[in-house]
Amino acid sequence: EVQLVQSGGEVKKPGESLKISCKGSGYTFTNYWIGWVRQMPGKGLEWMGIIYPGDSDTPYSPSFQGQVTISADKSISTAYLQWSSLKASDTAIYYCVRHNPQSRGWPFDYWGQGTLVTVSS
C-alpha cells in the first residue's frame, strides 16, 4: 500500500528555521516525483515545488523559489520542506504529494495527511 506519512504539527516563532518531512512507503521512492502543496487557513491549494529523488531535479513554483528548500534523502525514502526564517504568513497546512511520471499534467495520485505549521510570536 502506497503511503506518504508526514511529520507532526509545528509551532514556531517568526525568524525561526524549520524542516518538515514526508516518508514514502509501498513503492520505489526514486521512481516518482514527490512535492509539496500549501493550503493557508480557509484558502485553496498552491503548488510549491517538487523533487525527483532519483536525480534530485527540483523545479519550484516561481512564487516559492528562494523562499523554501525542497530536498530528499533516498536512503530513507524521505522528502523534506525547509525554511530558514519563518514568517507569520507561512502559517498553513503543508501536504506532500506524489506524481507518477507516466501520467501527463502532473496529477498527484497520493497525498500525505498534512502538516500544520503555525508561526506566531
Partner 1 sequence: QSALTQPASVSGSPGQSITISCTGTSSDVGTYNLVSWYQQHPGKAPKLMIYEVSKRPSGVSDRFSASKSGNTASLTISGLQAEDEADYYCSFGFDRSVVFGGGTKVTVL
**For binding to partner 1 (CB under 8 A), which residues are involved?**
37, 44-47, 50, 59, 61, 95, 103-109, 111-114
If the CB atoms of residues 22 and 86 are measured against partner 1, the closer one turns out to be 22
If the CB atoms of residues 80 and 108 are measured against partner 1, the closer one turns out to be 108
If the CB atoms of residues 1 and 75 are measured against partner 1, the closer one turns out to be 1
* Cell 520542506, residue located: 81
> CB 73 → partner 1: shortest distance, Å?
22
Write the DSSP string, 63-114: TTBTTBEEEEEGGGTEEEEEESS--GGG-EEEEEEEE-TTSTT--EEEE---
> CB 10 → partner 1: shortest distance, Å?
18
Q: Which distant-in-sequence residues (6+ apart) come within 8 Å of 109 by Cβ? A: 98, 99, 100, 103
> CB 92 → partner 1: shortest distance, Å?
14
